[in-house]
Amino acid sequence: MSKDIVLAFSGGLDTSFCVPYLQERGWAVHTVFADTGGVDAEERATIEARAKELGVASHRTVDGGPAIWNGFVKPFVWAGEGYQGQYPLLVSDRYLIVDAALARAAELGTRAIAHGCTGMGNDQVRFDLAVKAQGNYQIVAPIREIQKEHTQTRAYEQAYLEERGFGVRAKQKSYTINENLLGVTMSGGEIDRWEAPGEGARGWCKPRAEWPAAPLRVTLSFEQGEAVALDGEKLPGHQILARLNQLFAPYGVGRGIYTGDTVIGLKGRIIFEAPGLISLLAAHRALEDAVLSKQQNRFKPEVARKWVELVYEGFFQDPLKTDLEAFLASSQSQVNGEVTLETQGGTVTAVAVASPHILNAKGATYAQSADWGVEEAEGFIKLFGMSSTLWAEVNR
- Count of residues in the chain: 396
- Position 230 pLDDT exceeds 90: yes
CA distance 57 to 90: 30
- Domain 4-174: state its class: alpha beta
Return the DSSP state at 93.
G
Q: Identify the residue with better confidence: 348 or 377.
A: 348
pLDDT at 166: 93
Q: H or E stretch including 361?
A: none
Q: H or E stretch including 201?
A: none
Percent of the chain whose pLDDT exceeds 90: 74
- Position 1 pLDDT exceeds 70: no
Phi, psi of 201 (to 5 degrees): -90, 60
| Average confidence (pLDDT) over 335-358 | 97
pLDDT at 116: 93
3-state class of 83 per DSSP? strand
- Position 221 pLDDT exceeds 60: yes
pLDDT at 282: 98
Domain range summary for the chain, segments of one domain joined by + = 4-174, 185-354, 360-396
- Position 275 pLDDT exceeds 60: yes
Which of these, 159, 199, 192, 154, lies nearest to 172 by C-alpha position?
A: 154
Q: What is the mean pLDDT of the chain?
A: 92
| Average confidence (pLDDT) over 322-341 | 98
- Name the residue type at position 100: A
CA distance 342 to 340: 7
Q: H or E stretch including 5?
A: strand 4-8
| Average confidence (pLDDT) over 170-192 | 82
pTM above 0.95, yes or no: no
CA distance 339 to 158: 48
pLDDT at 368: 67
Q: H or E stretch including 147?
A: none
- CATH match of 185-354 with 3.90.950.10: no
Tens-place pLDDT, residues 354-389: 999 999 877 666 656 677 778 888 999 999 999 999
253 and 346 Cβ atoms separated by less than 8 Å: yes
pLDDT at 159: 94
Q: Please name the residues in contact with 221: beta carbons below 8 A apart, sequence gap of 6 or more.
A: 227, 228, 229, 230, 232, 337, 338
Q: Please name the residues in contact with 294: beta carbons below 8 A apart, sequence gap of 6 or more.
A: none
Q: Please name the residues in contact with 63: beta carbons below 8 A apart, sequence gap of 6 or more.
A: 35
Tens-place pLDDT, residues 161-173: 999 999 887 655 6
